[in-house]
Copies of this chain bind each other. A is one copy, B any other.
Amino acid sequence: MKGFQKLVTIEEARQKLFNNLKIERRTVVVPLAEALNRVLAEDIVADEDLPRFDRSAVDGYAVRAEDTFGASQFKPKRFRLTHADEVKVGEAKQVWTGTPLPKGANAVLMLEHTKRVSDNEIEVLVAVAPGENVSKRGEDVAKGEVAVKAGTRLKPHHLGLIAALGKNQVRVYEKPKVAVLATGNELVEIGKTLGENQVYEVNRLVIASLCRELGAEPVDLGIARDDIEEIFGKIRLGLEKADVVVTTGGTSVGASDLVPAVINSIGKPGVVVHGVAMRPAMPTALAVINNKPVIVLSGNPVAAMFGFEVFAGPLILKMLGAEHESRPVLKAKLTRRISTALGRKTFVRVRVFQCNGEFYAEPISARGSGVLSTMTKANGYVVVPENREGLEEGETVLVHLFDAVEATGEHV
């Protein structure tokens, strides 16, 4: 009967995993229209100035700024309207937001600072400085400038800027393929009928969904019985088909502790970490086989989620070239004390809410990490470090959000 004799810290565990891995990223060119949420694998450099010409930033009249000097509400100046390509002394030409600035003009008067007095004339009620209300050529992005950096997760505004530069395809990192296997004799596919002492297998769906959220592509390996041959075959298949294998179940120090043993029989270096000083997810194991990582998570759904969060998530982000990413965070005040054990990093589920403009974090008590509904009651978690026995009521804590904080009032 062996226990987890030597728990390693999360940092040591990650180090051991990454030290045994050489991450090779593949890239692929995709149409810009399909690039939302992909991670850019190249710097996007402007081939031309953006905008490509000086243009009006408002609706109004393009003028020579010097002609407006001295104009005021009490002493308006008159300008002749022109329809020619060039604006000459004492002339104004109507322009709209985005219109190229006509030759000769160097500023734009806003519509509301003028008064149309006849078909051919306007009165100008203010003076403008040269360059006023003009978007200068290259002011958005200058030719040769990096507009969007490699490693950026492409959001709508990035796509807009890349499109404005005229590029309709981009090079992004390929989605890592993550094979997902659940192990356990007690597991039944959702939708089937449960026998006595059986439970529905939920971890594959949860892990696959977490992979999709990060931008990875899950590959389903199904359920394996607690059987050496079956587990061996499925993990081998996963290693063939995917870049990462994630398993759930069979990591405890008990009788069904088959998965780490099977992994060690498949290839080198095998299991490099088994047992992490964290709670939940202490029995997590990390392995590498022929440069492919295998993340061995608890069968317990909540522990599996936190094991994924701490190990699989950062690994996938690294494979995606987006290792700088993390969940949204915010600061909130704890509504009550949290007690934790010394010597392990504890992940406490909390529900963040807003009250009178302040953010509060309410710990969600859970007797076991098997209680899935604690995850749906919470919208984030707080990390209690190894050297503390808890956190105090009223203490300001950093919350890592995995779901939305309900808005209290109106939309903006």
Contact = CB atoms under 8 A, between A and B. Distances in A.
Counting every copy of the chain, the complex holds: 2
A376 B59 contact: no
A365 B165 CA distance: 21
Given A139-B367, A191-B166, A155 B97 contact: no
A343 interface: no
A213 interface: yes
Contact of A168 (B1, B32, B191, B309): B191
Interface stretch (A70-78, A237-245, A247-255, A262-270): A247-255
Interface stretch (A19-27, A285-293, A386-394, A398-406): A398-406
B155 A403 contact: yes
A379 to B, nearest CB: 9
Interface in A171-223: 186, 190-191, 194, 197, 199-203, 205-210, 212-213
A contact residues, range: 35 or more
A212 B159 CA distance: 13
Given A53-B197, A166-B191, A411-B310, A370 B156 contact: no
Given A401-B328, A412-B310, A202 B163 contact: yes
Contact of A403 (B157, B357, B410): B157
B33 A160 contact: no
Interface string A132-160: 01010001110000011000010111111
B199 A98 contact: yes
A116 B254 CA distance: 13
A11 interface: yes
Given A160-B206, A209-B156, A305-B156, A367 B57 contact: yes
A112 B197 CA distance: 25
A381 B401 CA distance: 19
Contacts of A383: 412
Contacts of A199: 51-52, 98, 164
A393 B166 CA distance: 38
A161 interface: yes
Contact of A371 (B139, B254, B407): B139
A256 interface: yes
Interface string A86-121: 000000001011101000000000011000100000
A49 to B, nearest CB: 12
Interface in A334-386: 347, 357, 359, 367-373, 375-376, 383
The 6 A-B residue pairs with the shortest CB-CB distance in the complex, in nearest-first order: A57-B368, A168-B191, A156-B209, A157-B375, A326-B407, A163-B202
6 contacts: A10-B412, A57-B367, A97-B370, A157-B305, A324-B406, A328-B330
